[in-house]
Amino acid sequence: MTQQKCNSPECNLFAEYKAPLSPDNLRQYQWFCLQHIKEYNKNWNYFENMTADEIETFIENDIIGHRKTQKIGAANSDYFNKTNKIREKLFNSFDEIGNKEFSSTLLGSEYINALAELNINDKSAPLEVIKSKFKDIVKQLHPDTVGYKEENIEKLKKVLESYKIIKNHYERFKSK
């Protein structure tokens, strides 16, 4: 880790957490200790100023782009239990759908899995809702907001993948 001091005035702790300088300058960072990164993020969360698409690009380039795939650890069990429950619910409710728009051909298992990954349990959730869910989850997992955790990077990857699947689905659907 970088041995530098926290950017907060009068704090002499080592800074292990980085935050972007400004919404327009996401590539340059300032560094904080744990306590001050928390305060910083509370006061100004830079994800608020980004669209879902900007966040998508940011994660892809900044977080995943530099990393090799690693196994998904057992530490994720809560997360998987949660998404599995949603998945189950979505699959079970296929029978109840009379609406042809959301037939099983359009909403294949890939799409269901993607929704579950984003903690969305409504098959017909509008894209705007999906985008805001995506932002929420990214905020919860991103190393700049919660500190670096290997398992979170893995989740971020899955979340990003899922977001893309959903977006593609919507684009295909709209063009019909």
Residues that bind Zn ion (CB under 5 A): 6, 8, 11, 13, 33, 36
The answer to whether 9 and 19 are in contact (CB under 8 A) is: no
Query: Helices in the chain by DSSP H: which ranges?
Result: 34-43, 52-58, 77-92, 109-117, 127-141, 143-146, 150-174
| SS3 of the chain: helix, strand, coil, percent, to 5 | 60, 10, 30
CB of 116 to Zn ion, least distance (A): 38
CB of 39 to Zn ion, least distance (A): 8
Nearest residue (CB) to Zn ion, 106 versus 143:
143
CB of 144 to Zn ion, least distance (A): 16
Nearest residue (CB) to Zn ion, 11 versus 97:
11
**Residue 120's closest CA among 163, 150, 64, 151?**
163
How do beta strands 17-22 and 14-15 pair?
Answer: unpaired
Nearest residue (CB) to Zn ion, 34 versus 50:
34
Nearest residue (CB) to Zn ion, 2 versus 69:
2
CB of 43 to Zn ion, least distance (A): 14
CB of 6 to Zn ion, least distance (A): 3
Crossing angle of helices 109-117 and 150-174, in 10° steps, is 130
